[in-house]
């Protein structure tokens, strides 16, 4: 009876213990050899899974420049800046979340572009941003010819989208955006407007919480969700008539990776390409939709074999990496790694847990950018 009660208690917290996984959506992050763990810099986790498909972003300032990403108006009236900043990720629109409730956080990030001594790009003050989802499919088909044809100089053309410009800012009468919300943030102080003071935001990254918008995209993309187009962009709208909205932020956003680093003294970026997304979710919850149907056949398979399970002291853990090199790690419920081994091919290891405390443990097999996790219960 005591054993059964212990098992029930352990299983009751099982769903609260799911190994976390970090996904980074950053165009050409591997190809360009970015130091994603640099601090100061992006400061991203070493075990993050990187998706480096095309990301199209735009300042929406009339020229549709792909070279920066602008939020806010700095308290200026009748400005178009920040009216329709937008970002679209090819890879994000091709992903499947088995359960969107398991996504705990999603951020849009980019390095500050700190302006010149006589023209500050970032100014401190409140930012009030209307954020939501708009259909990007017309852009993909009419302007580029499809989601796989988007070029490096991609930008959401002002004259070609439904968020039409109307004299003094975005059209207040446009249809409501999907997953719409008002984001209230504070922009930091950048380089002063006068004198020769140095830039102060170099190597620092601005973050915008886009969790609700990412969840909406993942719930509505791909054929398995019944979507007809399945291509969506996140937009950020600023009303230029709100003069008390005095903050302004400009981020490096050169998808062409052309070295457009002007405006900061010692930036982290070497080519101006810093806009990216970070998504935190449970392990093996976010996968490429094109691989979903063949995942059983083509993905590494991690099998746990313990007789019985719950285990009482040791377990035989079998694995199959399909000929590739991988790592097999075991974590306690508080995230501490208690075992690690390099593995390859098909085989098994004997895990001795006799010195460990009772509880739930997670074994994680990582092969390339694929991760599979299984749960073990240690109960004596």
CA distances 233 to 53, 63, 193, 225, 347, Å, are: 15, 19, 33, 17, 44
- pLDDT band for 318, please (50, 70, 90 cuts): confident
The CATH class for the domain spanning 2-16+294-378 reads mainly beta
**Averaged pLDDT of the chain:** 77
The answer on pLDDT for 15 being more than 60 is no
Query: What pLDDT, in 10s, does the model give residues 163-217?
Result: 444 443 444 445 568 899 988 999 999 988 765 788 899 999 999 999 999 999 9
The answer on pLDDT for 227 being more than 60 is no
Confirm if 183 and 129 have CB atoms less than 8 A apart: yes
Q: Which residue has the higher pLDDT, 53 or 151?
A: 53
Percent of residues in the chain assigned helix, strand, coil, to nearest 5? 15, 40, 45
Q: What integer pLDDT is reported at residue 244 of this predicted model?
A: 61
C-alpha–C-alpha distance, residues 206 and 247, integer Å? 13
Q: Which residue has the higher pLDDT, 215 or 330?
A: 215
Structure tokens at 217: 């995209």
Confirm if 72 and 59 have CB atoms less than 8 A apart: no
Judged by phi (left if over 0) then psi (alpha if -120 to 50, else beta), residue 90 lies in alpha
CA distances 364 to 115, 175, 191, 341, 371, Å, are: 45, 45, 46, 11, 7
Task: Please give the angle made by the CA atoms of 212, 217 and 223, to the nearest 5 degrees.
Answer: 150
Confirm if 22 and 279 have CB atoms less than 8 A apart: yes
- pLDDT band for 306, please (50, 70, 90 cuts): low
Tokens 């400061």 — which residue? 43
- pLDDT band for 3, please (50, 70, 90 cuts): low
The domains of the chain are located at 2-16+294-378, 20-282
Considering the chain, what percentage of its residues have pLDDT values greater than 90? Answer: 21
């Amino acid at each position: 009876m005591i054993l059964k009660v212990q098992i029930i208690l352990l299983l009751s917290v099982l769903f609260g213990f799911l190994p976390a996984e970090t996904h980074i959506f950053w165009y050409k992050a591997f190809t360009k050899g970015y130091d994603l763990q640099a601090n100061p810099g992006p400061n991203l986790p070493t075990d993050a899974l990187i998706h480096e498909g095309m990301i199209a972003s735009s300042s929406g300032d009339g020229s549709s420049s792909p070279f920066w990403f602008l939020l806010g108006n700095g308290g200026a009236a009748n400005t178009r800046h920040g009216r329709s900043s937008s970002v679209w990720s090819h890879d994000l629109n091709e992903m499947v979340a088995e359960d969107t409730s398991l996504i705990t956080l999603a951020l849009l990030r980019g390095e500050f572009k700190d302006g010149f001594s006589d023209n500050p790009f970032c100014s401190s003050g409140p930012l009030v941003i209307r954020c939501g989802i708009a259909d990007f499919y017309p852009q993909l088909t009419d302007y580029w010819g499809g989601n796989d044809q988007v070029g490096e100089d991609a930008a959401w053309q002002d004259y070609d989208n439904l968020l039409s410009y109307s004299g003094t800012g975005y059209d207040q009468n446009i249809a409501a955006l999907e997953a719409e919300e008002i984001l209230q943030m504070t922009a930091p102080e950048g380089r002063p407007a006068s004198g020769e003071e140095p830039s102060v935001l170099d190597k620092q990254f601005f973050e915008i919480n886009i969790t609700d918008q990412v969840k909406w995209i993942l719930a509505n993309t791909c054929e398995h969700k019944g979507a007809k187009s399945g291509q969506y962009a996140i937009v950020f709208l600023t009303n230029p008539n709100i003069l008390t909205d005095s903050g302004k932020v400009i981020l490096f956003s050169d998808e062409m990776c052309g070295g457009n680093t002007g405006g900061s003294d010692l930036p982290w970026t070497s080519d101006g390409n810093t806009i990216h997304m970070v998504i935190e979710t449970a392990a093996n919850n976010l996968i490429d939709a094109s691989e979903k149907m063949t995942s059983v056949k083509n993905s590494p398979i991690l099998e746990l074999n313990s007789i019985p399970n719950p285990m009482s002291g040791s377990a035989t853990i079998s694995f199959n990496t399909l000929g590739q090199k991988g790592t097999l790690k075991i974590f306690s419920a508080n995230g501490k790694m208690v075992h690690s081994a390099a593995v390859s091919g098909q085989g098994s290891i004997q895990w001795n847990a006799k010195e460990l405390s009772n509880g739930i443990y997670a074994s994680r097999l990582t092969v390339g950018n694929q991760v599979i996790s299984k749960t073990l219960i240690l109960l004596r």
